[in-house]
Every structure is written in C-alpha cells, then in structure tokens.
Structure 1
Amino acid sequence: MIRTWAPDDFWQVAQPLIPVQARRRQGGGKRRADDRAVLAAIVYLVQAGCSWWKLPAQLFGVSRSTAHRRFTQWTVAGLWEQLHQQFLHGLGVISEIDWSRAVVDSISVRAEKRGTSPGQIRLTAANQAARYTYCVTAVVYP
C-alpha cells in the first residue's frame, strides 16, 4: 500500500526535501516511523478527502497521531511548497507545462484590502447585506 500512495519516482523527489529529525540526546524511546509510510498516509488522506480519524492506520503501519504530527512538522518546514516547486520544475524541464497560459488569482496572490485607492469608497447600497442566507427545502421521505 505504501508504494501505491508514494511510488518510487515520487519518493525520489520527496526524500531529499523531508527535514531530517535531530537525534534525541537521551536515547531510547520507540523507533521513528518510516518517512515514506507517513508520506503515503498523508497522500492517501489528501486524495480520499477523509479526516485524520478515518486514516486506516493498519494499511500504512503509521498511527494517526504520528501522521498528523509529521504533517504539521513538514508544513511548518515548507515541504509541500518545495515539493510543488520540484514537480513544476521537473515538468518544465521536459516541456510538459505551457507557461504562456498561466493564471494568477486571489488564491495564488493575496488581494490588497480596500484596493490601492487612497480615499474612502462610499457604500452604494443604503443597507448592508444580510449576514446569513436562509434556504427552505422540502423534506421528502421515501
């Protein structure tokens, strides 16, 4: 299952980018879970769209808490951005990306609040919009 969710070519790109854990000075403790198994579990969660509680730990040999802890550590270390850049670079090298058709939107680049105009903008509506939208639906029982 690990090679299904973290195949060899994916692992070759990801392995050098994964931060190396410092050795514990006091020694002892449990053996560190395999990084590839943790990566496979995280990729599974992202692809399946399920919560951490529904992670099938038996399939990957990694506990939910370990997967979540490493996900948090790797996110802080910037692993996901680095992986994205590596794959984009690899696709660019083999000319699989047409950069002339790239789009930048507000998800990629943060929009400035209130725009760039120096003055205040007057509200066009007399009343502010409602904060909530209610929808009434009929319940149909079989």
Structure 2
Amino acid sequence: MIANLVPDELWDRIAPLMPARPVRRHRHPGRLPVPDRVALAGIVYVLRKGVAWRDVPASVVGCSGVTVWRRLRDWTEAGLWPRLQAALLTELRRADLLDLDDCAVDGSHVRALKGGITSAPRPSIVPGPAPSTT
C-alpha cells in the first residue's frame, strides 16, 4: 500500500529533501523510528481519504495516525514543505509541465493587508455620534 501512496519515482525526488533524523542514543535507544516513507504515506492517506488522524489504519499505512501527525508536525517545524514545493515546481518548470492558467491564490500564500492601501480617508458608516448614557 505504501508504494501506491508514495510511488518510487516520487520518493526518489522527496528523499533528499527530508530533514536528517537525530542520532539514536547508544544506551537505552528506545523504539526504532518509523521510516520517513511510511510516515509520508500516512499523510497522503489522510489527504486522499479525508479521515481524522486517529482513524488512520495502521495495518494499511504501517504506523498509527498519531505517529503520522507527529512526523507532519516535525517536518513542518523543520521547513520541509516550502522546500519540497519549490523543488517540485522547479522540476515542473524545467520539464515545461507547469501550467499556471488555472491557479488559485488565497490568504495562506499571499499576505492579505488589512483594508489595503488607500489614498482617501474612508467615510464613516455611523449616521452620527452616539447619545450619552449618563
């Protein structure tokens, strides 16, 4: 199932961008970490199926949804997603496969200024001063 969620060709592009795993302690090393590809397959599973993290089937993906969520958090803090997006967009541009005729921009990608920049003062929408309550 992992190969269906994260094909070999995609993994070969993504693997070099992954942050380095911390070195395990020699004494009391704890459990082996879940491989990055398995965690990425869990993230793709959640995106495709629209399930909650707790509903990720460990038998299908290879790890629990909590593990997948933690890895997503760690990769987000490490800045993986902007690097991955830039690398894949660059590859698409080089192959002349990037078509920006149909694209969407929202506030998560472009800073939305509060009210924008205006040269004239804005008229008040209040009809007059409020009466005093004293």
TM-score (norm 1): 0.76
Q: Distance in 2 between matches of 1:24 and 1:104?
A: 43
Residue 61 in structure 1 maps to residue 48 in structure 2: no
Q: Distance in 2 between matches of 1:65 and 1:112?
A: 36
Secondary structure of 1:41 counterpart? helix
Question: Per the alignment, do residues 66 and 121 of structure 1 end up closer, same or farther by CA in structure 2, a change over 3 Å counting?
Answer: same
The one-letter amino acid of 1:18's match is M
1:31-50 equivalences in 2 (<5 Å): 31-50=32-51
Q: Distance in 2 between matches of 1:109 and 1:6?
A: 29
Secondary structure of 2:24 counterpart? coil
Secondary structure of 1:91 counterpart? helix
Question: Per the alignment, do residues 125 and 8 of structure 1 end up closer, same or farther by CA in structure 2, a change over 3 Å counting?
Answer: farther
Unaligned runs of 5+ in 1: 127-142
TM-aligned CA deviation for residue 24 of structure 1: 3.2
Identity of aligned residues (%): 34
Match of 1:4 in 2: 4
Match of 1:140 in 2: none
TM-aligned CA deviation for residue 117 of structure 1: 2.5
Residue 86 in structure 1 maps to residue 90 in structure 2: no
Secondary structure of 2:48 counterpart? helix
The one-letter amino acid of 1:23's match is V
Secondary structure of 2:81 counterpart? helix
The alignment of Structure 1 onto Structure 2 pairs a total of residues equal to 125
Residue 52 in structure 1 maps to residue 91 in structure 2: no
**CA-to-partner distance for each residue in 1:16-62, whole Å, 9 max, x for gaps?**
11111111334421111111111111111011111101111111221
The one-letter amino acid of 2:24's match is R
Match of 2:17 in 1: 17
Question: Per the alignment, do residues 123 and 55 of structure 1 end up closer, same or farther by CA in structure 2, a change over 3 Å counting?
Answer: farther
TM-aligned CA deviation for residue 122 of structure 1: 2.5
Question: Per the alignment, do residues 102 and 125 of structure 1 end up closer, same or farther by CA in structure 2, a change over 3 Å counting?
Answer: farther
The answer to whether the 8 A contact 2:54-2:64 is kept is no
TM-aligned CA deviation for residue 95 of structure 1: 0.6
Match of 1:138 in 2: none
TM-aligned CA deviation for residue 106 of structure 1: 3.6
